[in-house]
Chain A
């Protein structure tokens, strides 16, 4: 049962995003072409070059009870909301799997920034005695994983990969490994982020990484478009329940897709800049396809990382073209969700799985004038409206500051 080739399947999905408070509403809004991006109207933003954000449509406090809400950082709250949806969707509580065989892998890019910064204000204004005793468990980057672990009663292990914007995808890869190695029978995986605050906004803006198209919020995130000028910060979380195919079948679980393979590499090039030809990204994509026992020709759809930054999108296009080819249908859903950083890989894996299920590739919004870069030009990027297609394998890639590259391959069952 615990052979490295064990089939792993996805039996539950959850999400709370700038497009909707759950998976169904998020997917519907994505296919309808709606944007989650808006302009911040708070006073603090006035001097900021980048004033756009993709906020949640549903506050986590609407779902979680009041006491739980006040003891969890916002990044933990959204993680729990998404994980509980996935857990219900998978009927995890009725699965009969012992807590000692349930694991959690939940990543975040930034962690409890709102708590860190909020409690720093308390420290400055009122002194050390007034700092909340929950400060550390709320700001620690393993906090979301730990909160999800408590929510689902996981006792096989709780893990928290931290690899910036690749964290969510890395969590899914770790989950696959845990199941293949027989270290757990059921794993809740995902990513979370909630750091809409002046400091992260100022930091990303200082890197010139964010879009400053402040007057046109819904048109600001435009992956692969000539006019792109940076990403839009989003908040939210997404979660998946993974288990071995045999076990899922034995308990009669609904199966969305197989998680057929994963690949991860490091650029070894620069702390933040992507390798211009996407060398490490291409290696991750190739590794994931081989791990799935497939060839590039099998990959019918790619949900690209494509954050709408000038350098990142062309590097990724080169990687996709070289590692997969020009036959695959590419989409960049951050055009509507914004960039959820540590949650991005998990959310886009949910989209990849639903695209497989529905045989429907969502469109890339705002792609009006395709970049002249030859690799971008070579790709078949779905735009204007979702495209029906027949495909049995799809890939989601994610990259993070630090040179982290992750790729995941999902297939139909």
Chain B
């Protein structure tokens, strides 16, 4: 099972690929929309990529509650197999 650091690194990779976010900027306190300029369509792509990478599906109603990189990390951590 990936560690918290692994999850953060994996998310950073996804954010770079999908939204051009510099990996060093993908820290837990960052808000996707406010700080990282990730729009709602890109969030959908991120959710798909998270499912591929971590095997964790994020339903739409859960996705709406994920505001920060840290929120995404905890969701993945809690729900991974």
Residues of A whose CB lies within 8 Å of any CB of B are: 65-67, 129-130, 132-134, 137
Q: Are A67 and B20 touching (Cβ within 8 A)?
A: yes
Among residues 38 to 76 in chain B, which have CB atoms less than 8 Å away from a CB atom of chain A? 41-42, 44-45, 48
- Residues of B with C-beta under 8 A to A129: 48
Residues of B whose CB lies within 8 Å of any CB of A are: 18-20, 41-42, 44-45, 48
Smallest Cβ-Cβ distance to A132: which chain B residue: B45
Min CB–CB distance A150 → chain B (angstroms): 12
Min CB–CB distance A318 → chain B (angstroms): 50
Min CB–CB distance B49 → chain A (angstroms): 11
- A137 CA to B20 CA, complexed, in Å: 19
Q: Which 7 A-B pairs have the closest CB atoms?
A: A67-B20, A133-B44, A133-B41, A134-B41, A133-B45, A67-B19, A66-B20
Known: A66-B20, A67-B19, A133-B44. 12 other contacts (CB 8 A): A65-B20, A67-B18, A67-B20, A129-B48, A130-B48, A132-B45, A133-B41, A133-B42, A133-B45, A134-B41, A134-B45, A137-B41
Give 14 pairs: A residue, B residue, CB < 8 Å, sorted on A.
A65-B20, A66-B20, A67-B18, A67-B19, A129-B48, A130-B48, A132-B45, A133-B41, A133-B42, A133-B44, A133-B45, A134-B41, A134-B45, A137-B41
- Residues of B with C-beta under 8 A to A65: 20
- Residues of A with C-beta under 8 A to B18: 67
- A133 CA to B44 CA, complexed, in Å: 7
Smallest Cβ-Cβ distance to A135: which chain B residue: B41
Min CB–CB distance B37 → chain A (angstroms): 10
- Residues of A with C-beta under 8 A to B48: 129-130
- A137 CA to B42 CA, complexed, in Å: 13
Min CB–CB distance B10 → chain A (angstroms): 19
- A65 CA to B45 CA, complexed, in Å: 18
Smallest Cβ-Cβ distance to A67: which chain B residue: B20
- Residues of A with C-beta under 8 A to B19: 67
Min CB–CB distance B20 → chain A (angstroms): 4
- A132 CA to B45 CA, complexed, in Å: 7
- A210 CA to B48 CA, complexed, in Å: 41
Min CB–CB distance A122 → chain B (angstroms): 11
Min CB–CB distance A378 → chain B (angstroms): 56
- A137 CA to B7 CA, complexed, in Å: 31
- A134 CA to B41 CA, complexed, in Å: 7
- A67 CA to B17 CA, complexed, in Å: 8
- Residues of B with C-beta under 8 A to A134: 41, 45
Min CB–CB distance B55 → chain A (angstroms): 15
- A408 CA to B56 CA, complexed, in Å: 57
Smallest Cβ-Cβ distance to A65: which chain B residue: B20
Min CB–CB distance A70 → chain B (angstroms): 8
- Residues of A with C-beta under 8 A to B45: 132-134
